[in-house]
Chain A
Amino acid sequence: MIELKNVSKWYDEFQVLNDCSTQVAKGEVVVVCGPSGSGKSTLIKCVNGLEAFQKGEIYVDGTSVGDAGTNLPQLRSHIGMVFQNFELFPHISVTENIKLAQLKVLGRSDDESQQNAARLLERVGLSDQADKHPAQLSGGQQQRVAIARALAMDPVAMLFDEPTSALDPEMINEVLDVMVELATDGMTMMVVTHEMGFARRVADRVIFMDEGRIEEDCSKEEFFNSERGERAQIFLSKILEH
């Protein structure tokens, strides 16, 4: 479903991604972790072409992301993405947030978009917030709307960039629950997160990044049970302390 081959990226002289290769099979859940600044966000943004990369290849559902001839908006329209800071559109209501791209990108009718929005809001448990503006919701609620907005596009895969790290602790679980449900439903997911509980429950594989490199890429069992590289071990012991 998602395949990265020897991807490298530079900001001027500074190399953010260094020869990264991995793949996410259909229905697989892959968790990406690593210290701050290691390039996790950059890597995941390369997958749907929000960031350009200079070397290597990325394929999503058979389409080459880096190819100049690729229609990026069309490709992105069926890859869902959820951001750390939710990024709901503040000037329109929750329902309108979920309808916008259905109407403008997929060309769905107003009725159909509305029904999808209602159905997805129910799925994330927010039917009663449909007409509010994003600023009137809590962080956890906003993130659940953001997930619903991405799901409305019927994505073939979902990308998450630290979806819970801007949330107050008591709101993390309501978002993780939605994500776990998605994972159990068979959604293909690439999730940047430090929530190791989430990784333990639903991840198939765990990727550990450091200084732009993929240092570990192994099954969840291997990652949590066996010997790892020194940096990964230090990192893991640090975040598990919390």
Chain B
Amino acid sequence: MFGEFDTSVIFDNLHFLLEGMQTTLILTVIAICGGLVLGTLLALARLAPFKPLSFIAGSYVNFFRSMPLILVIFWFYFLVPHIVGRPVGGFYSVLVAFVMFEAAYYCEIMRAGIQSVRKGQIYAGQALGLTYTQNMRYVVLPQAFRNMVPILMTQAIILFQDTSLVYVVGVKDFLVSADLVANRENRILEMFTTVALVYFVICLSGSLLVRRLQRKFAQ
């Protein structure tokens, strides 16, 4: 098995591997966008003066943050078809799982972001006659988001890595595709080295970008 390192197995299966990568990326992007939207709404709810609303949002966040991701993925795999009333396939159930799970983390990031906006800015918006919603929409959230970009991106990188957990319900992401090729062609070393390299390069690029953004924002 370790006799020779044969890279041709990668190129022979390139199309199949790219399809897996496509699944991984779609999952990551939709989970980021959906999680961010839902997370921001949760953050607003958590900070709302109306106590029951902030309690419900708080419970949601605490619940999901206490659950291992893999358990959430399993759950939604069995739960979502039940709720929808028909089989939806692994991909859609993990999509829902990731959005709901990530929302809890994005909520906490956005909450910190909203709280990082100075009180004086809120006063200024109010003094101009903006309503609470307008003040959030035009004054607070844009600044909160901007302040949190580096942390939001770090979370996105973690999410990108976490998507590999979908193997437990048989969704063919990049890692699962590579695993299938590795076993079929008996090229385990080549395939897993490639997988490691690809994850490493993507995540490292992401981290470097975050660091550059941080430096830019620090100015």
Chain A interface category by residue count: 20 to 34
Q: Which residue of B lies closest to A89 (CB)?
A: B139
Q: What chain A residues lie within 8 Å of B127 (beta carbons)?
A: 48, 50, 76, 79-81, 150
Report chain A residues within 8 Å CB of B121: 87, 89
Contacts of B126 in A (CB 8 A): 50, 72-73, 76
A88 and B131 alpha carbons, distance in the complex (Å): 17
A36 at the interface (CB under 8 A from B): no
Q: Is the CB of A83 within 8 A of B123?
A: yes
Residue of B nearest to A105 (CB): B129
Beta-carbon contact of B143 and A100 below 8 Å: no
**A-B pairs with lowest CB-CB distance, top 9:** A77-B129, A87-B124, A101-B128, A81-B127, A105-B129, A87-B120, A76-B129, A73-B129, A73-B131
Q: Report if A119 contacts B (CB, 8 A).
A: no
Contact yes or no, A149 B128, CB < 8 A? yes
Q: List the count of A-B residue pairs having beta carbons below 8 Å apart.
A: 65
Closest to A104 in B: B134
Query: What is the minimal beta-carbon distance from B159 to any residue of chain A, in angstroms?
Result: 26
Chain A CB within 8 A of B138 CB? yes
Chain B residues contacting A153 (CB-CB under 8 Å) are 128-129
Q: Which residues of B contact A83 (CB under 8 A)?
A: 120, 123-124
* A200 is an interface residue with CB less than 8 A from chain B: no
Q: A residues engaging B (CB < 8 A)?
A: 45, 48, 50, 72-81, 83, 85, 87-92, 100-101, 104-106, 149-150, 153
- For the complex, count residues of B whose C-beta is within 8 A of A: 18
Shortest beta-carbon distance from A163 to chain B in Å: 13
Bound together, the chains give a CA A48 to CA B142 distance in angstroms of: 25
Q: Are A100 and B129 in contact (CB under 8 A)?
A: no
Q: Least Cβ distance of A74 to chain B in Å?
A: 7
Complex interface residues of chain B between 115 and 156 (CB less than 8 A to chain A) = 118, 120-121, 123-131, 134, 138-139, 142-143, 146
CB neighbours of A81 from chain B (8 A): 123-124, 127
Give Cα A105 to B130, complex, Å: 6
B122: shortest Cβ distance to chain A, in Å?
Answer: 9
Residues of A within 8 A of B120 (CB): 83, 85, 87
Closest to A152 in B: B128
Contact of B130 among A48, A104, A150 (CB under 8 A): A104
Known: A81-B123, A83-B124, A150-B128. 15 other contacts (CB 8 A): A75-B129, A76-B127, A76-B129, A77-B128, A78-B129, A79-B127, A81-B124, A81-B127, A83-B123, A85-B118, A89-B139, A91-B142, A91-B143, A100-B138, A104-B134
A175 to chain B, nearest CB (A): 17
Complex Cα spacing A92 to B142, Å: 10
Instruction: Please determine whether B130 and A87 come into contact, CB atoms closer than 8 angstroms.
Output: no
Neighbouring A residues of B134 by C-beta, 8 Å: 104-105
By a CB distance below 8 angstroms, the chain B residues around A101 are 128-130
Q: Specify which of B123, B124, B129, B131 is in contact with A89 (CB 8 Å cutoff).
A: B124
- Give B86-137 interface residues, CB cut-off 8 Å to A: 118, 120-121, 123-131, 134
Contacts of A105 in B (CB 8 A): 128-130, 134
Say whether A73 contacts B123, CB under 8 Å: no
Q: Which single member of B118, B128, B138, B146 contacts A76 (CB below 8 Å)?
A: B128
The listed residue with most A CB atoms (<10 A of its CB), out of B120, B125, B128, B129, is B128
Closest B residue to A76 by CB, please name it.
B129
A101 to B123, alpha carbons, bound, how many Å?
13
Shortest Cβ gap from A107 to chain B (Å): 11
